[in-house]
Amino acid sequence: MANDAFVVFDRVQKSYDGVTLVVKDLNLSLPKGEFLTMLGPSGSGKTTCLMMLAGFETATHGEIRLNGRNINTVPPHKRGIGMVFQNYALFPHMTVAENLAFPLEVRKLDKSVRDEKVKRALDMVQMGAFAGRRPSQLSGGQQQRIALARALVFEPELVLMDEPLGALDKQLREHMQFEITHLAHNLGITTVYVTHDQTEALTMSDRVAVFNDGRIQQLAPPSELYEAPVNSFVAQFIGENNRLMGTVTEITGETCVVRLDSGDIIDAKPVNVSKVGDRTQVSIRPERVETNKARLRPGVHTLKAEVTEFIYMGDIFRTRLKVAGHDDFVIKTRNAPDQIRHQPGQMIEIGWLPEDCRALDAP
């Protein structure tokens, strides 16, 4: 573990029944000021990790440290951590200002100090004019801003957020994603954010921890997760992905040849395969597929494909193809004057650079 880590999970496990582990040997460290997102499907262990860090759940095994201090037995209210939940958790009988002042009263701060901190926190989220209103008089987006301000009002070094934008509509959600990220980085706050929304994770985070079955499958910056998934679960869970099943027939350095189950031959980058004969799921992102053979290196294998659907989406064209026995293969091309608009029933040739296609584990 890095000595400068601010948050550390050291071999942490969690079981509710003494038999089944919902979190398995978690080792994770965050430097100060990082925005880390825990991403994964329901039941993957991400929220349990957040609750253990907050103190609402206790680790069955291992150690959780905050700023070098073991906090396994420290109660939640003594950890100095800000929390933001999906349901806002605002007190309905209190005004906005009273909601924000509450955590400061618990810390026994003088009224003049409380008033100053409340004003500063409300100004941070551009809600200074709403101090006298009650939560019921606010919209969902306004309530979420107040919940965020309350988590920041006592100036914590660590803020935890559990699906905080899940109840908002798409446009407001995207706006709040920017606001939260901007605030966290400007204030230098270490943030742990839990979501099952991959787009949210990719747009907001310094790093993303992808969870499945109680383990981190990959921990990396968003671009690396998308461009270089380490296994078939991450490839499928992050972004849109085309997958084809086959068997490795040749490995030469950074390239391998795969015979697809359809009998077609393709080139790929060997990631989770080690020898000839290994079964593999090859992964290729829709925007990496080329329909212009002239853009590919000589000798690169191509595939015949039948266009089944063409969708105009404004900035991009989305084309569905039947390829190597699969009818769910998708390519995305930018809307440009020189871009061909393929028609259903048309036969085309597709290919890709081997480094853009990854030979992963066969699930």
**What pLDDT is attached to residue 1?**
42
Domain check: are 335 and 213 in the same one? no
Whose structure tokens read 């109660």? 75
Residues 352 and 350: their CA atoms lie apart, in Å, by: 7
**What pLDDT is attached to residue 331?**
95
Kindly tell me if the per-residue pLDDT of 131 is higher than 60. Answer: yes
Q: Residue 265 — left, alpha, or beta (φ > 0 → left; ψ -120 to 50 → alpha)?
A: beta
Q: What is the pTM of this model?
A: 0.89
CATH number at residue 203: 3.40.50.300
Phi/psi of residue 217, each to 5°? -80, -35
Residues 345 and 343: their CA atoms lie apart, in Å, by: 6
What percentage of residues in the chain have a pLDDT greater than 90?
A: 69
- The whole-chain average pLDDT of the chain stands at 91
* Number of folded domains that form the chain: 2
Q: What is the mean pLDDT of residues 160-165?
A: 90
Residue 149: closest CA among 181, 117, 171: 117
Q: What is the mean pLDDT of residues 64-90?
A: 89
CATH number at residue 312: 2.40.50.140
Cα angle 288, 170, 156 (rounded to 5 degrees) comes to: 100
Domain check: are 97 and 214 in the same one? yes
Task: Give the domain-ending residue among 213, 232, 251.
Answer: 232
Give the confidence band of 170 by pLDDT, cuts at 50, 70, 90. Answer: confident
Residues 81 and 75: their CA atoms lie apart, in Å, by: 11
**What pLDDT is attached to residue 3?**
56
Kindly tell me if the per-residue pLDDT of 246 is higher than 50. Answer: yes
What percentage of residues in the chain have a pLDDT greater than 70?
A: 99
**What pLDDT is attached to residue 167?**
74
- The alpha-carbon radius of gyration of the chain (Å, integer) is 25
**What pLDDT is attached to residue 107?**
85
Task: Give the domain-ending residue among 185, 204, 232.
Answer: 232
Contact assessment for residue 135 and residue 143, using Cβ atoms and an 8 Å cutoff: yes
**What pLDDT is attached to residue 62?**
96
Domain check: are 36 and 72 in the same one? yes
**What pLDDT is attached to residue 270?**
96
Domain check: are 58 and 188 in the same one? yes
Task: Give the domain-ending residue among 232, 257, 288.
Answer: 232
Kindly tell me if the per-residue pLDDT of 300 is higher than 90. Answer: no
Contact assessment for residue 236 and residue 242, using Cβ atoms and an 8 Å cutoff: no
The helix or strand, by DSSP H or E, that contains position 323, with its residue range, turns out to be strand 316-323
Give the confidence band of 278 by pLDDT, cuts at 50, 70, 90. Answer: very high
Domain check: are 278 and 199 in the same one? no
**What pLDDT is attached to residue 23?**
96
Kindly tell me if the per-residue pLDDT of 315 is higher than 70. Answer: yes
Q: What is the mean pLDDT of residues 19-35?
A: 95
**What is the tally of helices (H) and strands (E) in the chain?**
8, 19
Kindly tell me if the per-residue pLDDT of 342 is higher than 60. Answer: yes
Which residues form the domain of 326? 241-361
pLDDT digits (tens, 9 = 90+) for 263-273: 999 999 999 99
Residue 28: closest CA among 181, 227, 220: 220
Domain check: are 227 and 95 in the same one? yes
